[in-house]
Structure 1
Amino acid sequence: MEVIFISGIFLSFFIAFLLLTKKQKALTDKILAIWLTVIGIHLLGYYYNQIGYWEIYPHLIGTTAPFPLLHGPLLFLYTLYSLRNDRKVRTIDYLHFTPVLVAYLYMSNFFFFYTAKEKKMLDRGEIADFSVFALILLVVILISGISYSVLTYRLTIRHQHKINKYFSYNEGISIKWLHNCILSIGLVFLSATVIIVSRDAFGVQFSFNADYIIYLIIIGFVFYIGYFGIKQENIFTNNPIPKNLSEEKPELIEKYKNSGIGKDNATKLYKKLLNILVEEKPYLDPKLSLSGLAQLLEISPNQLSQIINQEAQVNFHDFINNYRVEEFIHKANKNKKFSLLALALDSGFNSKSSFNNIFKKLKGLTPSQYLSKQL
């Protein structure tokens, strides 16, 4: 177990160093570096406690107690700015760290005015000066962690809708890995809640150090986010989305009444769009975006989004990929000597995984199953 903790601590600081020395680092790289440094210090504090350093150096006691309050806000801000193009953190976002500041201000009396002997006594439970505060802090930490996990997950879900509206592909802009990060942090706080409630409220006695479960998940999270965080680029750095791009559901057609495109004009433009798709086949471009297709019709991305949602009742992602699927089926029936992947790439898809996922979503079968039924 000691080796695992040392590895997690070293990796946290090492990845933070790599991120800070990364060329052309983005704001998200800096946020992630700060977060990993916080995790590293948090793990180090717990490790020192476990090997008895708090007895030798009692002034370390409590120094990392409010640190769990940092994980939720840093998760939220990292996700938020992974989905934006900002170069600086907005002033209002610093308010997320208010609970941490309040906790340290309240504990300042303990840090600066308690003797080493008094700190040891408090750590052993012989002094109850901060017992109520410790309970409140624990409750706030658990609520904060779970609340930020839910809030951040909702943020990524909303943004996934925007991706589907604006892009016809997922490679390089997928936020699935962020979903996994959010679930990992949520699992940390959920596990902590279950363990603490079971142990303190119901008197459950674990045959092992249950805290290890929480910290092992954190260490696993460090390995995961370190790998993806280093190589991840800002989703919209090279593919900016208009800020006023609609995020409403396709079926809410009422939103278009005052948009400048009447029903008749929208129908005409939709027919023109269908002609372009049949004659020019722009969907064969694996990087086709809403703005790229809008340029062919000489209209704005907002207007094209309106037309597709209103006339086809689907988002841009599914609309374009439906054409790619039909193109693949057509090619597969004519060119049986080529592999399915080769035909998929020739039809506008840019990876095997996205092709299989999209095909099954639209047809309900895998490509091979669908083709075998046609024979």
Structure 2
Amino acid sequence: MALLTFGWRTALLLFASIEMLVLAAALWQPLANRTANRILSCLLIVLVGVILPFAIGFAGFYDRFPWLSFAPFAVPLAIGPLLYSYAYSLAFAATPPRLALHLVPALAQFGYQAVIFPLPLSVKNHWDAIATPVLAPILMLALIASLAGYSIASLRILRLYRIALAQQRSDDDRLSARWLSRAVVALLLLLAISLAYAAWNAFIAPLDYFGVIGRYLAIAAIGCYLAIEGWRHADLRLAPIPVPSNDEPPAPSRDWRAQGAAWASQVRDANWQRDPELSLAALARMLGTNTAYLSRALNEGLGVSFSTFIAGLRCDDVAATLRSGSEIDLLRLALDAGFGSKASFNRSFRARFGLSPSAYRRAHASNPK
């Protein structure tokens, strides 16, 4: 009887699996972004299922318990649709249309394994010898197409979300879910790694069970990153983006540049930009107008998004303080101006003045105004 051996490969994959399962359970609880969090929870469980056969395989489970062959643990065709659904639900606070249809290939993959798994071992071995050489390349091509297509679609959804967010919120950097874009890019990198493995296996030298460990460690790392960042942002209300009001269509003859300048002066005088959670709708109410008028004054009149407009006013406040020779800590100045983090402040300040805040302070240290 084969012995079980728990080496470093099994230890790493099992540790990552446990972490993902714990956080998947935790993500089922928060009320904020409930739909998105539960989709992410399902995605993490699917990722655990993908690496589990290798985690136990490296330990010798399939040698010790050969009846485990075809156990329906791994359903990789579910990764793409769930990742896209998570991005969509963050952006729109709803599941994507026809989600069930997106999951049909994954359900078929699971059903195929579930049907064969309870068959006698001799039957399974015979079927494996006949079908796997034919089905494995088809499954690989389907997986590549699924991951590539859904990853690109996810990035497109996140890009549209950020464009809309910049028109509606002043704290768009905090709500932009850039961590999810990094995870999607990492998944595309994993796809490239998988293609490299497949090419090596097909054209250079066949890889044994241990030769593909790098691929599954990469899956585990991406899964842990998704789990940790998803949990960190579980209560952050990212969506939905309110639709601008069209109840009072802007008049084509209005001078939007003059109107934008007048409203900018009014906002600056009242220091409304210092509200770290200021939204387009809230500012429109303060100005006594509607979101359609305000958006047009900013976009067409001043040539900026709402987020850029508010960030610019905040940067102007900090710059004026720095020119006065103030020694107040930059983070304190950023927070007082309305920025949610030093990182977003640094990006906005450099974009407006072409210098970092610290460099701007040094440039004006000897000539306070």
Q: TM-score, normalised by structure 2?
A: 0.86
Number of matched residues? Answer: 356
User: 2:298 — aligned with what?
Assistant: 308
Q: Is the 8 A contact 1:308 1:315 kept in 2?
A: yes
Deviation at 1:230, TM superposition (A): 1.6
Q: Which of these residues, 167, 170, 194, is aligned with residue 168 of structure 1?
A: 170
User: 1:158 — aligned with what?
Assistant: 160
1:370 and 2:364 aligned: no
1:129-158 deviations in Å (ceiling 9; x for gaps)? 342222111110111112211111111111
Q: Is the 8 A contact 1:58 1:116 kept in 2?
A: yes
- Give the alignment of 1:1-375 within 5 angstroms: 1-22=9-30, 26-64=34-72, 67-86=75-94, 89=95, 92-105=98-111, 110-111=116-117, 114-123=119-128, 127-170=129-172, 172-200=174-202, 202-204=203-205, 209-233=210-234, 236=237, 241-243=241-243, 259-264=249-254, 266-267=256-257, 269-374=259-364, 375=366
- Between 223-232 and 145-154, report the one with greater CA deviation: 223-232
Deviation at 1:221, TM superposition (A): 1.9
Structure 1 Cα separation of the partners of residues 46 and 301 of structure 2: 50
Report the RMSD for the aligned CA atoms in angstroms: 2.8
Determine helix, strand or coil for the equivalent of 1:323.
helix
Go from structure 1 to structure 2 and tell me whether the alpha carbon gap of 1:53 and 1:342 turns closer, same or farther (over 3 Å shift). closer
Deviation at 1:174, TM superposition (A): 2.8
Structure 2 Cα separation of the partners of residues 226 and 105 of structure 1: 27
Amino acid at match of 1:73: P
1:184-224 deviations in Å (ceiling 9; x for gaps)? 22222221111112221x22466993321111112112321
Structure 2 Cα separation of the partners of residues 63 and 188 of structure 1: 24
Determine helix, strand or coil for the equivalent of 1:128.
helix
Determine helix, strand or coil for the equivalent of 1:260.
coil
Go from structure 1 to structure 2 and tell me whether the alpha carbon gap of 1:107 and 1:241 turns closer, same or farther (over 3 Å shift). closer
Q: Is the 8 A contact 2:46 2:76 kept in 1?
A: no
Deviation at 1:101, TM superposition (A): 2.6
Amino acid at match of 1:339: D
User: 1:250 — aligned with what?
Assistant: none
Deviation at 1:46, TM superposition (A): 2.2
Deviation at 1:68, TM superposition (A): 0.9
Q: TM-score, normalised by structure 1?
A: 0.85
1:29-77 deviations in Å (ceiling 9; x for gaps)? 2112212222222222222333333344444323348611011111111
Q: Is the 8 A contact 1:164 1:315 kept in 2?
A: yes
Q: Is the 8 A contact 1:82 1:235 kept in 2?
A: no
Percent of residue pairs identical: 23
Deviation at 1:175, TM superposition (A): 0.9
Segments of 5+ residues of structure 1 without an aligned counterpart are 247-257
Q: Is the 8 A contact 2:168 2:242 kept in 1?
A: no
Determine helix, strand or coil for the equivalent of 2:141.
helix
User: 1:251 — aligned with what?
Assistant: none
- Between 149-158 and 11-20, report the one with greater CA deviation: 11-20
Structure 1 Cα separation of the partners of residues 344 and 197 of structure 2: 39
- Between 217-226 and 69-78, report the one with greater CA deviation: 217-226
Deviation at 1:179, TM superposition (A): 0.9
Determine helix, strand or coil for the equivalent of 2:338.
coil
Go from structure 1 to structure 2 and tell me whether the alpha carbon gap of 1:269 and 1:146 turns closer, same or farther (over 3 Å shift). same
Determine helix, strand or coil for the equivalent of 2:220.
helix
Q: Is the 8 A contact 1:12 1:37 kept in 2?
A: yes
Deviation at 1:176, TM superposition (A): 0.9
Structure 2 Cα separation of the partners of residues 316 and 23 of structure 1: 29
Determine helix, strand or coil for the equivalent of 1:209.
helix
Amino acid at match of 2:183: C
Deviation at 1:334, TM superposition (A): 1.9
Determine helix, strand or coil for the equivalent of 2:210.
coil
Determine helix, strand or coil for the equivalent of 1:17.
helix
Structure 1 Cα separation of the partners of residues 217 and 357 of structure 2: 40
Structure 1 Cα separation of the partners of residues 260 and 308 of structure 2: 16
Determine helix, strand or coil for the equivalent of 2:87.
helix
Determine helix, strand or coil for the equivalent of 1:338.
coil
Go from structure 1 to structure 2 and tell me whether the alpha carbon gap of 1:59 and 1:244 turns closer, same or farther (over 3 Å shift). farther
Deviation at 1:26, TM superposition (A): 1.0
Structure 1 Cα separation of the partners of residues 215 and 243 of structure 2: 39
Structure 2 Cα separation of the partners of residues 21 and 271 of structure 1: 46
